[in-house]
Structure 1
């Protein structure tokens, strides 16, 4: 685990860089360093949130870029899987005010099925405001408790 400190993150943790990692951007470098510690890097899929997703990381033939609109615009890059097979998911439509079937590419379905702890943490947090010091303190307590619960709860039993 590396706590993110901005551009100086890896220097603050005294992480040695390989020559190919030195030419990467700050967030790409962090993902690359963390990926280099994996036991099975060639058979493991990495799911990264918007801020940690870049074309620098997916240097490969056959890059799939998918853009869609949910509550806001979602952009996914993948070298692991494609659009097919398409499936159908039920989503709430704000225009018709009811749940409707929507087509969903395989890459988005896979991302949703393999969300990391931070996405699940954001889904169950009751308060999103960080404007006041008391609110910030309550937010830190909520994140700590939620993260502890996510780590404790077995992933196969985790349902929202």
Structure 2
């Protein structure tokens, strides 16, 4: 049987390591992964405030390896992807609310082309993580749905 070369890869074509392939797979799945977004409303920026709250949520969710991305002024942080259903983010939002404690308002559910976004807000208490804050906002949704939500509400 003659080999016409269709089964062979060119020798000079670069190949990904297992770690690189895993990282690319993770990055490609992130837009559909479940995320929790934290916004700390303050009179003046409080460095790291949102990250500290996201860390409390991460601990409550039992996902110590989950990434936290923050903005430069400390007001916003996104935790994820977290385990859970991005098409039913309510249970994850409730777990985040429990992690931070306090008296939360009613959960608002918005659906956009990318999926549902669950949102809730409460007044800040005076715990060390919330010092200087006036209100705390939480969102739970897929990364893609959060991006669409932000675009629609900006």
Which TM-score bucket, shorter chain as reference?
under 0.3
Q: Which has the higher strand share?
A: 2
The structure whose RCO (Cα within 8 Å, separation 6+) is larger is 2
- TM-score, normalization: structure 1? 0.25
- TM-score, normalization: structure 2? 0.25
Q: Is the radius of gyration larger for structure 1 or structure 2? A: 2
